Amino acid sequence: MTDAAIYEDLQKTLKSPVFLAEPMSKHTSWRIGGPADLFVAPRDEEDLRRALIFARARGLPVTLVGNGSNLLVSDYGIRGMVIKIGPGLSEVQVQGALIKAGAGTPLPRLADRAMRAGLAGFEFLAGIPGTVGGALVMNAGANGCAVGERVRQVTAYDYAGNRLIFNAGELVFKYRKSSLADRKVIVTGVVLEGVPGRVEEIKKRMENYLARRRKTQPLEFPNAGSVFKNPPGDSAGRLIEAAGCKEMRVGNIQVSPRHANFFVNLGGGVARDVLKLIERVQHLVEEKCGVKLVLEVQMLGEF
Ligand SMILES: Cc1cc2nc3c(=O)[nH]c(=O)nc-3n(C[C@H](O)[C@H](O)[C@H](O)COP(=O)(O)OP(=O)(O)OC[C@H]3O[C@@H](n4cnc5c(N)ncnc54)[C@H](O)[C@@H]3O)c2cc1C
């Protein structure tokens, strides 16, 4: 069966629009990535379930993305079906100190909602351009906080289309990783717990964090945040700078002069150049500082 025929069948199965050969560069903050054979952004959980069952029946590999803010997608794209968990699953409800949020909720919107409800503990999310689902899988964090600390319950699907519920005690969150990634599930929602606080104070903390980001991060260029994880007790940015890699460039990808752990796309950059720059920086940091940097960004597709 051709991709076009599968596409037509899938479109008949779902309410949500399906895209054929969708450029992933439209869905990554680096603005990099070749075509996804089939691309679906489910409007609700039922469409997600149907897409999963369809993919399984046809033997199509499934790849999950959120807002693409931590992704390096190959120039050759992604084979099979890409499912984007986004606006279709982005309802937010506040009940006392609990926030129930869909996995597609943008983190800045979650932080804003919490602040307006007088709930502290989410300020650090205001400047992280991912979704709740991506943040849970990556255990996104900043300023000494991480999202895993606030989790009470997670709703997810397995790849066969079964709905699962995990209570906080069943999950493990570590530095930029969580057991949700190991379990290979698709997160659809979460219940988080905040700490009652004063709106003005919460707002002030959020504004301070955002101001610091604007000053220290090259937000005027497409990027994917920190490329490498910080090694224990050190910072990847400091090591990259110490190894003399600041401003190093491959094609149109550059180690940012402002923040060495951010690699910026100066315009028209490609994944193979990001990868070359990653390897070059890793090699020099290991040679000069004796530390093997580990990738924080997730690579998707064929490299
Ligand atoms: C300017 C900038 C600043 C950043 N600052 C920070 C920071 O301070 N701290 C930090 O931790 N990160 C930061 N990041 C990185 C990134 O925003 C976070 O890792 C974010 O949580 C990723 O969410 P996402 O929705 O974009 O996920 P994606 O990048 O789309 O995906 C990341 C991973 O999660 C998986 N995934 C996504 N959604 C789901 C889902 N619903 N179910 C299952 N798996 C899923 C994907 O398959 C992939 O493996 C920054 C990025 C940028 C561009």
CATH code of the domain in which 131 resides? 3.30.465.10
**Structural domain for 231, as ranges:** 218-300
Check whether residue 225 and residue 282 sit in a common domain: yes
Residue percentage of the chain with pLDDT more than 70: 100
User: Mean of the per-residue pLDDT values for the chain?
Assistant: 97
Q: Is 110 in the pocket of ligand 1 (CB under 6 A)?
A: no
Check whether residue 102 and residue 193 sit in a common domain: yes
Specify the CATH number for the domain of residue 56: 3.30.43.10
| The pLDDT of residue 273 is above 80 | yes
Q: In the listed set 149, 181, 215, which residue is the last one of a domain according to the structure?
A: 215
Residue keyed to tokens 């008949």: 12
Check whether residue 248 and residue 293 sit in a common domain: yes
For residue 2, report the distance from its CA to the centre of ligand 1, in Å.
Answer: 32
Q: Is 226 designated active site? A: yes
Per residue in 63-86, pLDDT (tens digit) is 999 999 999 999 999 999 999 999
| The pLDDT of residue 4 is above 90 | no
Per residue in 209-261, pLDDT (tens digit) is 999 999 999 999 999 999 999 999 999 999 999 999 999 999 999 999 999 99
Active-site hit among 176, 193, 212, 286: 176
Among 92, 70, 203, residue whose Cα is nearest residue 139: 70
Q: In the listed set 215, 240, 257, which residue is the last one of a domain according to the structure?
A: 215
Among 237, 154, 164, residue whose Cα is nearest residue 193: 154
Neighbour order of strands in the sheet with 263-265: 249-250, 253-255, 263-265
Mean pLDDT value across residues 8-32 = 97
The tokens of 24 are what? 């992933």
Check whether residue 130 and residue 208 sit in a common domain: yes
The dihedral region occupied by 106, where left means phi > 0, alpha psi between -120 and 50, and beta the remainder, is: beta
Mean pLDDT value across residues 156-168 = 98
Check whether residue 229 and residue 289 sit in a common domain: yes
Q: Considering only CA atoms, which residue is closest to atom 27 of ligand 1?
A: 134
Q: In the listed set 187, 215, 243, which residue is the last one of a domain according to the structure?
A: 215
- 146 φ, ψ to 5°? -145, 150
